[in-house]
Copies of this chain bind each other. A is one copy, B any other.
Amino acid sequence: MSSIASLIDRYCLGWNAPSATEREAHIRAALTPDATYTDPRADNLSVTQLLDHITKVMSSRPGARVVRTSGIDTHHHCGRFAWHVLLPDGSHLPGGIDFVEFSTDGSAIRRIVGFFGPLALKEEN
């Protein structure tokens, strides 16, 4: 597995680990200290705010796990990958795609912007 894939999967562990202490260790290992996180329900969170957000979101779905479902396309310190939320019964919720930016040396994620669900249908002209 590439170092970028390991990095993204460590970020996912930051959602999935059972304790707040473990989640924080994974998130702080995968993200730069000044990283930001944005998704449809979260506006430009700092790392500390993201940790609170993860705790809130995942505590509403006990046993759920964020699972990466695609490879990671990267170019010029940018990347994208798909994910979904796997439930304890083996079913999954509609997923999304995360767009990420990496630090200059590629060792950490400095920005995450997530989108939920499939692409919107094109409007009628």
Total copies of the chain: 2
With most chain B CB atoms within 10 A of its CB, the pick from A5, A113, A121, A125 is A113
A residues lining the B interface (CB < 8 Å):
1-2, 5, 38-40, 43-44, 68-73, 75-76, 78, 80-82, 97, 99, 113, 115, 119-123, 125
Contacts of A71 in B (CB 8 A): 119-123
Q: Hey, which chain B residues are within 8 Å of A120, CB to CB?
A: 70-73, 81
Shortest distance between the CB of A65 and any CB in chain B (Å): 15
For A69, the closest partner residue in chain B by CB is B122
A99 and B123 in contact, given A38-B76, A75-B40, A76-B43 (Cβ under 8 angstroms): no
